[in-house]
Amino acid sequence: MTSIVILGMHRSGTSAITRALNLLGGALGPLEDVGEYWERAAMRSQCDALLERFDGAWDCPGIMPEGWESLERVAEVDAGALAAISEYGSPEVLLWKDPRASLTLPFWRKYLGPDPIAIIIYRHPEEVWASLDTRNGFGPGLSFALWERYNSDALRSASGLRTVVFAYSDLVQKQSEIMTELAATLTGWGVPLKDPASTDMELRADQRHHHSSEHFSHPSATPSQQALFAALQETRGVHESFSPPAAMEPSPLSLELIQMRRQLRMSRRELWRARSEHRSLSGSRRKLFSLIIHPERTSRDEHSMGDDASIGQPPRSPST
């Protein structure tokens, strides 16, 4: 069995290339577990569990130190990960796509066989932002920060692996050429695939809804993000043993934006839990709990009562 892992940022064409390789013979796993973006739900839940071990999520990944995959808190995910991988069975070509794999591949390496293949597809960061803005309402700063984190982690995760790197723009503009070259490379690496010339791979030029110039010069872009975009362009092609470009430290602003997103997510989660518990209460306990999770209502009520509250009189009617 040969494992192929698709790496890249969300909204970068990972779904398109995954579906194309699936139609050429790659196995995605149990059909009932495969979602609309050709992602395994079981694998995604384990990736989310890994990110949660570092107080993160897909849109606000936490800091994962060198060797994080060997930490005790990560070992708690092993049973679920093994079960998810086992559901693939024993296909000739195991095909796995999830943008979260860009962040978590070091953990999954032990389950993917001795010599997995990485395919890294990247997209112009301004196009990624436009797509995230449409789907999630993200601004350019956060979008570029996430783009940087996912792509830099993808490059590091592929170190030493047989790897192919290409741009999403090339895939949609030169579909036949890119897929013919990719299939020839994979076949040369011993991966049995169908002939792309006689297979409808469902690639369409109109799948690309956002377009940008070749340059990345947005006012919100940081020097490290611009350098990463240039590095991705330089690494396009086939690598028998991938050597990632020199590590580039993200700007403090990018780290802060992701941290703020993480804090927002955690606050929303705590508020949701509090409201769920509130709904389970009744009577005076519910009223008391309301004062805890909605203190602004208490202040507003006291303000509306004014001095009358101190003498036990009903509040005055509002003036006209």
Kindly state whether residues 114 and 223 are assigned to the same domain. Answer: yes
Phi and psi at 299, nearest 5°, equal: -60, -40
Question: What is the bridge-based pairing of β-strands 117-122 and 162-167?
Answer: parallel
Residue 317 lies in a domain: no
Kindly state whether residues 242 and 273 are assigned to the same domain. Answer: no
Kindly state whether residues 244 and 273 are assigned to the same domain. Answer: no
Kindly state whether residues 160 and 94 are assigned to the same domain. Answer: yes
List the domain range (segments joined by +) for residue 286. 265-306
Q: What mean pLDDT, rounded, does the chain reach?
A: 87
Kindly state whether residues 139 and 285 are assigned to the same domain. Answer: no
Kindly state whether residues 144 and 279 are assigned to the same domain. Answer: no
Kindly state whether residues 151 and 49 are assigned to the same domain. Answer: yes
Are 160 and 242 a contacting pair, CB within 8 Å? yes
Domain boundary among 220, 250, 280: 250
Q: What is d(CA 128, CA 246) in angstroms, rounded to the nearest whole number?
A: 24
Of 62, 225, 203, the residue nearest 128 (C-alpha): 225
Specify the pLDDT at position 291. Answer: 62
Residue 319 lies in a domain: no
Specify the pLDDT at position 149. Answer: 96
The domain that holds 89 is classified in CATH as 3.40.50
Residue 184 lies in a domain: yes
Residue 50 lies in a domain: yes
Specify the pLDDT at position 282. Answer: 62
Specify the pLDDT at position 205. Answer: 61
Kindly state whether residues 60 and 148 are assigned to the same domain. Answer: yes
Residue 208 lies in a domain: yes
Residue 256 lies in a domain: no
Kindly state whether residues 238 and 285 are assigned to the same domain. Answer: no
Ranges of residues in the chain whose predicted pLDDT is under 50:
298-320
Kindly state whether residues 269 and 223 are assigned to the same domain. Answer: no
Residue 259 lies in a domain: no
Specify the number of domains making up the chain. Answer: 2
Kindly state whether residues 269 and 197 are assigned to the same domain. Answer: no
Kindly state whether residues 17 and 156 are assigned to the same domain. Answer: yes
Specify the pLDDT at position 100. Answer: 98
Residue 136 lies in a domain: yes
Specify the pLDDT at position 290. Answer: 64
